[in-house]
Amino acid sequence: MRTQVAIIGAGPAGLLLSHLLHRAGIASVVIERHSRRHAEERIRAGVLEQGTVDLLVNTGIGDRLRREGLVHDGIELRFGGRGHRVDFKALTGRTITVYGQHEVVKDLITARLAAGGQILFDSVTVSVHDFDTATPRIRFRRDGTQSELACDFIAGCDGFHGICRPSIPAGALTIYEKEHAFGWLGILAESPPPSRELIYAHHQRGFALYSMRTPQLSRLYLQCAPGEDPARWPDELIWKELRIRLGSGGRALREGPVLQKGVTGMRSFVVEPMQYGRLFLAGDAAHIVPPTGAKGLNLAVADVRVLARALAAFYGSGSTDLLDRYSAVCLNRVWQTQRFSWWMTSLLHSFPEEGPLRERLQLAELDYIAGSRFAATALAENYVGLPFDE
């Protein structure tokens, strides 16, 4: 088998890259170790920046997104027993859209298969070879048959636990990493939204977040210990704690069946550079941000947008300039996004080990945002998405 660009990982990053390359007349094959059903049903983040929405719509993937996505003009910050709305549209002229990551994946898979794209689901024992030469290769087993895919470039879109980043020689990457001292207990519940917009709550007992997936499904989170056993949180305790931490925003919660329950760890992670030879890392393979700023999916989209343009320039003119600058361009946005996600995480979570001074400083910062248009604008600009680097 041979293609121009081999993509490992059928998440949003890999599928969108394949879609963008197809529009540029560049052939690709996507290799995915899980089944199509697993890819389409895995519930993840659901907040899309304005730039992400525009890219999906402008490249023909936005029909269902425009019909079913929930457009939000702002968010509510709750602290000290009161709420304050940050009006994104008034402050920046832009909005966000709530539309589940798995829905984006469904749309991309449908579009790629309709266009004759190759997505090799259920591919196992995947390994990458010779990516420091002009003739990279990927070996994998599918349907009991060993196969090899030759290509010009490899895009490692296979996530934090994938095989691409560990395949880069030791010492070639610099790793920046922090494990945070708390996690998120998250539930997906059949509960109609009590609010039209997301609620971020700072509370002495810990952070809470109210969000939604559809007009019938709510996604709710509570700060908890890292590695907490979800079984220690019966449904009635979760609803009780949500009402306490969300304050008046929680009184309108309508309890419903809990469909999913799990604990998400909190990690900040970046590798530099995001490329080695003809292997390019994108999305979670290269960076992880705490989910507080709702940036993971959006940052992956920004990566593959840059990579697709660079590959189009190479195949169009032979120029390697954009490919050579891939890491530098992406990492500028990555670090800005890490800064914002770290700031939101530090602002809203409880740090009891640091004593009451930390909490009073957090409340002072929240008061400043509530009372200053400049501070609120800074939050809004980062939340709706920074401009793309060209």
Going by pLDDT thresholds of 50, 70 and 90, the confidence category of residue 269 is: very high
- pTM of this structure: 0.94
Going by pLDDT thresholds of 50, 70 and 90, the confidence category of residue 166 is: very high
Q: Which of 290, 291, 326, 349 is catalytic?
A: 291
- Of the candidate CATH numbers 3.90.1200.10, 3.40.50.720, 3.30.9.10, 3.20.20.120, the domain formed by 180-265+352-384 belongs to 3.30.9.10
Catalytic residue status for 221: no
In 3D space, the residue among 192, 193, 190, 187 whose CA is nearest the CA of residue 220 turns out to be 187
- pLDDT tens sequence across 249-268: 667 788 999 999 999 999 99
Which stretch of 243-252, 253-262, 288-297, 323-332 has the lowest confidence by average pLDDT?
243-252
Is the pLDDT at 101 greater than 80? The verdict is yes
The pLDDT, as a whole number, for residue 249 is 61
Q: Give the C-alpha separation, 165 to 287, whole Å.
A: 11
- pLDDT tens sequence across 179-205: 999 999 999 999 988 788 999 999 999
The pLDDT, as a whole number, for residue 61 is 94
Average pLDDT taken over every residue of the chain? 94
Is the pLDDT at 130 greater than 60? The verdict is yes
Q: Which of 210, 221, 276, 383 is catalytic?
A: 383
Is the pLDDT at 390 greater than 60? The verdict is no
% of the chain beyond a pLDDT of 90: 88
The pLDDT, as a whole number, for residue 247 is 85
% of the chain beyond a pLDDT of 70: 99
Catalytic residue status for 178: no
Mean pLDDT in residue range 325-344? 97
Domain definitions of the chain by residue range: 5-73+95-176+267-347, 180-265+352-384
- pLDDT tens sequence across 5-49: 999 999 999 999 999 999 999 999 999 999 999 988 876 778 999
Mean pLDDT in residue range 349-366? 95
Catalytic residue status for 383: yes
Catalytic residue status for 273: no
Is the pLDDT at 70 greater than 90? The verdict is yes
Is the pLDDT at 389 greater than 70? The verdict is no
The pLDDT, as a whole number, for residue 213 is 82
Is the pLDDT at 115 greater than 70? The verdict is yes
Q: Which of 200, 221, 276, 326 is catalytic?
A: 200
The pLDDT, as a whole number, for residue 253 is 85
Catalytic residue status for 200: yes
The pLDDT, as a whole number, for residue 46 is 84
CATH class of 5-73+95-176+267-347: alpha beta
Phi, psi of 162 (to 5 degrees): -75, 180
Q: Which of 12, 19, 22, 72 is catalytic?
A: 72
Q: Which of 99, 295, 326, 349 is catalytic?
A: 295
Going by pLDDT thresholds of 50, 70 and 90, the confidence category of residue 366 is: very high
- Number of neighbours of residue 157 by Cβ within 10 angstroms: 33
The pLDDT, as a whole number, for residue 227 is 87
- pLDDT tens sequence across 208-248: 999 988 888 889 999 999 989 999 999 999 999 999 999 87
